[in-house]
Amino acid sequence: MRVESYKTLAEAARAMGPDAVFMAGGTLVMRDVNAGESASRIIRSADPALTEIRATGDGFSIGAGVTMARIVAHRDLPFLAPVARAVGGPQVRNMATVGGNLFAHHPYGDFAVALLALGARVVLAGQGGAKPLDDLLRERGRSGGPSLIVASIEVPRPRDPRAFGFVKVSRIKPKGVSVMSIAVNLPRDSGRIRGARVAFGAMGPAPLRVSAVERVLEGQSLDAATIARAAQLAGDGLDPPTDALASAWYRREVAGTHLRRLLEKMERG
């Protein structure tokens, strides 16, 4: 194993390859190192751009190396603070990064679920433009991990903070891994939901959106009948993992209940 450190992200991106992995906070990569299962090259970069949080026109640009603890403490990100607080214990939150969470395999990666529901876009190092997080997560689900570096994540600010809801379902409080996590973003236009986004974690190979639920919510108000219809469709067609915490059957069975509770809580305000 070799460790390579680069001054800039652009240089680090050029050094990436199928035999390399990028390391930020270390909470994922060092586990593999300690288990003797690491990639043969570990790429690091101390590029200050990685740890920047900037306000943009309609939201925030969050450097991929920003830690969960910094998200919790940031005064302009109250909608993301509860999500970051749900990740790991204090030590993990001091280390684990927003970018790393996009590559965290089951049962980790709850922050990515929230970013997916918020419609976040990722900026790749050494490449121009941003692409939907949906695409990155889909590619990751297929290939197990692309050889690229996420430089930053563009997160739109929810127009109405009450439109965004998140829950992490775990068996151990306050720190336990996910049975599942659910994030919903339901912007309203004169009382009607427009542009619904509903994302699940621990319900597939990577965080995913459930379009059947989004379609049921679209154009509706969040009344009891709509919530019931959404809950009914929640686990449909999903192939969640079976692990020590829950079986695939259990996850499918309770997905609707947890979605219903979250939506009811949001409706109550």
Partner 1 sequence: MAKIPVTFTLNGSERAAFAEEGLNLLEFLRRAVGDLSPKYGCGQGTCGACTVIIDGETHLSCLTMADAVQGRKVETASGLANGKVHPLQEAFMEHFAAQCGYCTPGMLMSAKVLLDRNPSPTRAEVIEAISGNLCRCTGYAPIIDAILATANTRRLA
Residue 244 within binding range of partner 1, rule CB under 8 A = no
Read off φ and ψ for residue 169, nearest 5 degrees.
Answer: -95, 115
Peptide bond preceding 107: is omega within 30 degrees of 0, i.e. cis? yes
Name the residue among 231, 180, 235 with its Cα closest to residue 202.
180
Task: Please report, as residue ranges, which positions from 61 to 80 form the binding site for partner 1 (by CB under 8 A).
Answer: 69
Q: Per CB under 8 A, which region of 19-27, 152-160, 181-189, 250-258 contacts partner 1? A: 19-27
Tell which positions 177-216 bind partner 1, by CB under 8 A.
Answer: none
Among residues 234, 251, 254, the alpha carbon closest in space to that of 107 is found at 251
In the complex with partner 1, the residue whose CB is nearer, 23 or 124, is 23
Q: Which is nearer to partner 1, 68 or 118 (CB)?
A: 68
Residue 33 within binding range of partner 1, rule CB under 8 A:
yes
Dist CA 73 CA 70 (whole Å): 5
Q: Is 175 in the site for partner 1 (CB under 8 A)?
A: yes
Could you say which of 92, 130, 148, 238 contacts partner 1 (CB under 8 A)?
92
Whether residue 107 contacts residue 99, with contact meaning beta carbons closer than 8 Å, is answered with: no
Hey, what are 91's tokens?
């030590």
DSSP state of 67: B
Q: Which residues from 131-170 bind partner 1, rule CB under 8 A?
A: none
Q: Is 50 near partner 1 (CB under 8 A)?
A: no
DSSP for 145-190 reads --S--EEEEEEEPPSSGGGEEEEEEESSSSS--EEEEEEEE--EET
Residue 174 vs 269, nearer CB to partner 1: 174
The smaller minimum CB distance to partner 1, of residues 35 and 225, is found at 35
Given 90, 132, 219, 237, the residue binding partner 1 (CB under 8 A):
90
Among 9, 21, 42, 183, binds partner 1 (CB under 8 A): 42
Q: Which helix (H) or strand (E) holds 81?
A: helix 81-85
Among 59, 63, 65, 88, binds partner 1 (CB under 8 A): 88
Q: What is the dihedral of CA 138, 155, 17, 144, to 10 degrees?
A: -30
Q: Which stretch binds partner 1 (CB under 8 A): 82-90, 113-121, 123-131, 229-237?
A: 82-90
Amino acid at site 4:
E
Distance CA 61, CA 74 (A): 13
Q: Which residues here bind partner 1, judged by CB under 8 A?
A: 1-3, 23, 25-27, 30-31, 33-35, 38, 42, 69, 88-92, 94-95, 174-175
